Structure 1
Amino acid sequence: MYDVAIIGAGITGCSIAYELGKYNINAVVIEKENDVSVGTTKANSAIIHGGYDPKPGTLMAKYNIKGNVYTKELCQKLDVPFKQIGALVVAFSEEEKKTLEELKERGAQNGVPHMEIWDKEKLHKEEPNISDNAVAALLSPNVGIVSPWELAIALAETAVENGVDIKLNTEVTGIEKKDDAYQIETNNGMIEAKYICNAAGVFADKVNELINEKTFEITPNKGEYYLLDKSQGNLVNHVIFQCPNEKGKGVLVSPTVHGNLIVGPDSQPSAGDDTSTTGSGLSFVKNTALKSVPGINFRESIRNFAGVRARTKKHDFQIYEDKKNKGFINIGGMESPGLSSATAIALDVVKMLADTGLVLEEKNDIVDTRKVNRFKHLSHEKRAELVKENPLYGKIICRCETVTEGEIVDAIHRPIPATSIDAVKRRCNAGMGRCQGGFCGPRVQEIISRELNIPLKDVPQDRLGTDIITGETKDGGAR
């Protein structure tokens, strides 16, 4: 029997697992997909927000501020790409300048440091490619950009190193309370745990309803994006927002930690697992973004994608212990600023578990740092040392991102193995470049097949069922 079962391996579930790994308890993460971070965590704006947007007194305001600081600290410890570049909320009219003042005041109430309003001259000096129609901007210098899937993977891998179990390809189908434990029914058999953390993302309300009446409801909301080539990556220096409205923070234009430019999202109702993109949605994103930065060259787009927000009617996080089921903790409604808040939320979830009876004894010795070899960023001397130690580092597989076979093999054999082409991509960037895996994809597939000793046809693109090879084009006798 486990002490704690965490349902969901997105950024929230992985953050909780990381924190629980510091204690002498038995914990398990249950994830229905074949890897961590494959839901909303891998498909969002990748922004660590400043904290000026949430209404004062909300859980979003509380955790955004704490998470902004703690996430930066964890990225440094766990070798996750992060850059604190600041954000600008841009006004295009005198009326919107009033909104900037309101946001600045809200940020002050929430505890956001060093905010200031720039006039048109200052704005255009710092951001020469911003629209001539922009009249002012609110600077929030504490905003950062991150690789969200790499952060979730780092947290989960460190948790595994500290003894936390992770069960992938395991979907929760039922929950029943018996005596002082929960019987968690899955497609891979029964799992017992004394406590449950429900971090199931857009399906958190459905997991809650497996044992409880409906206490909150998630209305999935989809946002579509453009990812542009690195040729566009220096177009702006900050995260560029327009003034928020009733639909959210709106379409942003931002550099990414990998040197690209990300543009989006829109906002539209969606099914929980619908990540399709649409012509109308992308057209809206494009036209809205051009209002902020008219010089974006959308012909340099290398990828379109969509992510789904776990939105609730209250527009606030749902974090509480269920009144009828002691030890069952819901962490729901993790829409923006969910990524920014997850690491701080995890700290409080651990406290909630302790308050409800979980005995927490700190381990004497834990893994709390991590280092990843990124060949592309090493000096010539370090590269030579790596190649001498392991010749696979001398073989470039992904030319766009300069990713070596050594990095790919390492990704496959890390604490949570990469078993799909996209799982490798999330760990070491192979396939992230301009050609989006057009050249290196088949080679990565071969390496996974070789290293895991599985048939080539059993290596998926991403989730189970995303088959690349579905059969032979000719039978054995054809010539």
Structure 2
Amino acid sequence: MLDVIVIGAGVTGCATARELSRYDLKVTVLEKEEDVCCGTSKANSAIIHAGYDAEPGTLKARMNVLGNQRMDALAEELDFPFQRNGSLVLCFDEENLPGLEELRERAEANGVPDVRIVTGKEIKELEPNLSPEVKAVLYAPTGGIVCPFKMTIALAENSYVNGVDYRFQTAVTDIARTDGGYLVSTNRGTFTARCVVNAAGVYADQFNNKVSAHKLHITPRKGEYILMDKKAGSFVSHTIFQQPTRLGKGILITPTVHGNLLAGPTAEDITDKEEVSTTGEGLAQVMEKARLSAEKIPLSMAITSFAGLRACEEKGDFVLGEAEDAEGFFNAAGIDSPGLSSAPAIGLFLAEQIAARLKAGKKADFISRRKDIPCIAESTPEEMEALIAADPAYGNVICRCETVTEGEIINAIRRPLGAKSLDGVKRRTRAGMGRCQSGFCAPRVMEILSRELQISPLDLTKSGGKSCLLTGMTGGS
């Protein structure tokens, strides 16, 4: 019997697994996809919220602020990109200034430092490209941006080297209480554990409702985004929000840690928990509302669009901790925005509760640090020379748009919990994330995957499962 099963390898599940790996516990993560970071964690705004938005006293407010505070140390320990670029909330009408003041008061109540309201010429000094219709802004300097792929992968890799077992393409189909724990049924057999962490995203209500009389109801909320080229990345330096009004929260504009510009998301409640297609109507809405914040936003430089789902629980707050009537069953449910920001705090919160219940001691040999794949595009000439001298594959550029080399791709495949698909390589190295969106580099990445994994090119997938990239051979081969 395992000590803990974590259902879901998104950022919340991986953050919890990483904190659990500090203890002498047998932990297994069950993930229905072929890799970590395949759900909500890979399709979001990539923002670390300051913490002024959530209602004081809620779990969202508490976890957001604590998660934000932990982010600098975590990014340094686990070597993933994070920047404190600050955030602005735009007020377009003087009659809405009391609402901006209310957000400032929330920030103070939640313990968010240095939040202030800016008016007049200082607005343009902060962001020259904002609309002239902006009357005031709420400035929160502790807001930040992060790479959600790199963050989730870093948490997973570090937990793995500290003993956590990951089972991919393992979909949980049922869960039932047993004497001393839980029986978890999957498409790949059954598992038993003394405790279960329910970090299943939009499916978390289904697992909770199998073991607890306190029913949850999660609605998937689809958000569509437009990503622009790196030439547009300096259009704004802060994350730009529109003030929430009776018409909704509006569309944000933000730089990314990799130098792109991002606009979105829409907010559409749907019933299909797998529906992540973009629509003409949704993308038109992103463009129209983004121009309210900055009319000259370079949307003509768009290189791709995408959509993600947020897991919105009907009570509006995170559902965290042990279910009252299901001993050993720990929820991390309803983790919508600011879930990415809150993940480090949620992981710590749950791990401490579980360790206390199981009376687990901490490991003496816990490995707290992890190094990312060396990045040629961000290396100094001296660093580049040393990498190529050690391994000539770092001198062979595969992805021209993002300057990703063969050495980086090989590293991505061979490292702990390495890439097994085209998207797996993309999330770890950014090969295929540039202007041509894999148009040039995909065949070359496939050659490396086939060689390193020692599988036929016909068995390669875009993202696991049935997403095969090739249907057959030509030329009589």
Which of the five TM-score ranges fits, normalised by the shorter chain?
over 0.9
Question: Is the Cα contact below 8 Å between 1:7 and 1:13 reproduced in 2?
Answer: yes
Question: Is the Cα contact below 8 Å between 2:115 and 2:141 reproduced in 1?
Answer: yes
1:288 aligns with 2:289: yes
Match of 2:341 in 1: 340
Match of 2:276 in 1: 275
Question: Is the Cα contact below 8 Å between 1:205 and 1:214 reproduced in 2?
Answer: no
How do residues 459-478 of structure 1 correspond to structure 2 at under 5 angstroms? 459-472=460-473
Cα offsets for 1:406-429 (capped at 9, x unmatched): 000000011101001111111111
User: CA offset at residue 23 of structure 1?
Assistant: 1.1
Distance in 1 (alpha carbons) for counterparts of 2:219 and 2:387: 49
Match of 1:415 in 2: 416
1:180 aligns with 2:177: no
Amino acid at match of 1:291: L
User: CA offset at residue 72 of structure 1?
Assistant: 2.5
Match of 1:48 in 2: 48
How do residues 158-307 of structure 1 correspond to structure 2 at under 5 angstroms? 158-213=158-213, 215-245=215-245, 249-270=249-270, 271-307=272-308
Q: Provide the secondary structure at the position in 1 that maps to 2:184.
A: strand
Match of 1:31 in 2: 31
Bigger mean CA offset, 11-20 vs 379-388: 379-388
Distance in 2 (alpha carbons) for counterparts of 1:436 and 1:346: 34
Cα offsets for 1:225-284 (capped at 9, x unmatched): 000001110000100000024676431000000000000001102221111001111101
Match of 1:121 in 2: 121
Unaligned 5+ segments in structure 2 are none
Match of 1:446 in 2: 447
Match of 2:150 in 1: 150
Cα offsets for 1:89-116 (capped at 9, x unmatched): 0111102222111100111011110011
Distance in 1 (alpha carbons) for counterparts of 2:383 and 2:131: 43
Distance in 2 (alpha carbons) for counterparts of 1:72 and 1:458: 40
User: CA offset at residue 383 of structure 1?
Assistant: 1.0
Cα offsets for 1:377-434 (capped at 9, x unmatched): 1111111111111111110001111111000000001110100111111111111111
Match of 2:86 in 1: 86
Query: Are residues 245 and 272 of structure 1, via their aligned partners in 2, closer, same or farther at CA, if it must alter by over 3 Å?
Result: farther
1:19 aligns with 2:19: yes
Distance in 2 (alpha carbons) for counterparts of 1:247 and 1:326: 42
Match of 2:111 in 1: 111
Question: Is the Cα contact below 8 Å between 2:181 and 2:328 reproduced in 1?
Answer: no
Q: Provide the secondary structure at the position in 2 that maps to 1:457.
A: helix
User: CA offset at residue 454 of structure 1?
Assistant: 0.6
User: CA offset at residue 472 of structure 1?
Assistant: 3.9
Amino acid at match of 1:410: N
User: CA offset at residue 160 of structure 1?
Assistant: 0.3
Distance in 2 (alpha carbons) for counterparts of 1:248 and 1:39: 25
Distance in 2 (alpha carbons) for counterparts of 1:453 and 1:261: 38
Distance in 1 (alpha carbons) for counterparts of 2:163 and 2:246: 44
Amino acid at match of 1:290: R
Question: Is the Cα contact below 8 Å between 1:4 and 1:28 reproduced in 2?
Answer: yes
Match of 1:353 in 2: 354
Distance in 2 (alpha carbons) for counterparts of 1:455 and 1:338: 39
Distance in 2 (alpha carbons) for counterparts of 1:290 and 1:368: 44
User: CA offset at residue 333 of structure 1?
Assistant: 0.4
Q: Provide the secondary structure at the position in 2 that maps to 1:305.
A: strand
TM-score by length of 2: 0.97
Q: Provide the secondary structure at the position in 2 that maps to 1:209.
A: helix
Question: Is the Cα contact below 8 Å between 1:251 and 1:263 reproduced in 2?
Answer: yes
Question: Is the Cα contact below 8 Å between 2:4 and 2:26 reproduced in 1?
Answer: yes
Question: Is the Cα contact below 8 Å between 2:175 and 2:211 reproduced in 1?
Answer: yes
Amino acid at match of 1:101: E
Amino acid at match of 1:257: V
Match of 1:324 in 2: 325
Distance in 1 (alpha carbons) for counterparts of 2:182 and 2:265: 39
Distance in 2 (alpha carbons) for counterparts of 1:449 and 1:52: 48
User: CA offset at residue 376 of structure 1?
Assistant: 1.2
Distance in 2 (alpha carbons) for counterparts of 1:213 and 1:465: 37
Distance in 2 (alpha carbons) for counterparts of 1:95 and 1:474: 70
Distance in 2 (alpha carbons) for counterparts of 1:70 and 1:126: 26
Amino acid at match of 2:125: K
Q: What percent identity do the matched residue pairs reach? A: 47
Distance in 1 (alpha carbons) for counterparts of 2:48 and 2:254: 12
Distance in 1 (alpha carbons) for counterparts of 2:389 and 2:249: 49
Bigger mean CA offset, 365-374 vs 9-18: 365-374
Distance in 1 (alpha carbons) for counterparts of 2:296 and 2:239: 16
User: CA offset at residue 182 of structure 1?
Assistant: 1.2
Distance in 2 (alpha carbons) for counterparts of 1:217 and 1:337: 19
Q: Provide the secondary structure at the position in 1 that maps to 2:211.
A: coil
Question: Is the Cα contact below 8 Å between 1:224 and 1:304 reproduced in 2?
Answer: yes
Cα offsets for 1:201-245 (capped at 9, x unmatched): 011011223333461100111000000001110000100000024
Amino acid at match of 1:243: Q
Question: Is the Cα contact below 8 Å between 2:209 and 2:216 reproduced in 1?
Answer: no
User: CA offset at residue 299 of structure 1?
Assistant: 1.5
Amino acid at match of 2:371: K
1:383 aligns with 2:387: no
Cα offsets for 1:130-171 (capped at 9, x unmatched): 001111101000000000111010000000000010000101
Q: Provide the secondary structure at the position in 1 that maps to 2:133.
A: coil
Distance in 1 (alpha carbons) for counterparts of 2:193 and 2:25: 11
Q: What CA RMSD, in Å, does the superposition of the two structures yield over aligned residues?
A: 1.3
User: CA offset at residue 473 of structure 1?
Assistant: 5.5
Distance in 2 (alpha carbons) for counterparts of 1:305 and 1:311: 19
Cα offsets for 1:340-373 (capped at 9, x unmatched): 1111011111122134x21221111121112221
Distance in 2 (alpha carbons) for counterparts of 1:471 and 1:149: 31
Unaligned 5+ segments in structure 1 are none
Cα offsets for 1:4-42 (capped at 9, x unmatched): 000000010000000011111110110000000110000
Bigger mean CA offset, 196-205 vs 465-474: 465-474
